[in-house]
Amino acid sequence: MAIQLIEKQNDPVHPHATLLAAIRRKVARDWVVRIVHTYREGNRVADWLSKHSLVYPYGKNELDLPPQGLRQILGDDARGQSFPREVVDSTETSSVM
- For the segment 67-87, the average pLDDT, to the nearest whole number, is 86
pLDDT of residue 92: 57
Q: Could you report the per-residue pLDDT of 30-45, keeping only the tens digit for each?
A: 999 999 888 877 888 9
Considering the entire predicted model, what is its pTM? 0.55
Instruction: Please report, rounded to a whole number, the percentage of residues in the chain having pLDDT higher than 90.
Output: 30
pLDDT of residue 23: 92
Residues 6+ away with beta carbon under 8 Å from 74: 45, 66
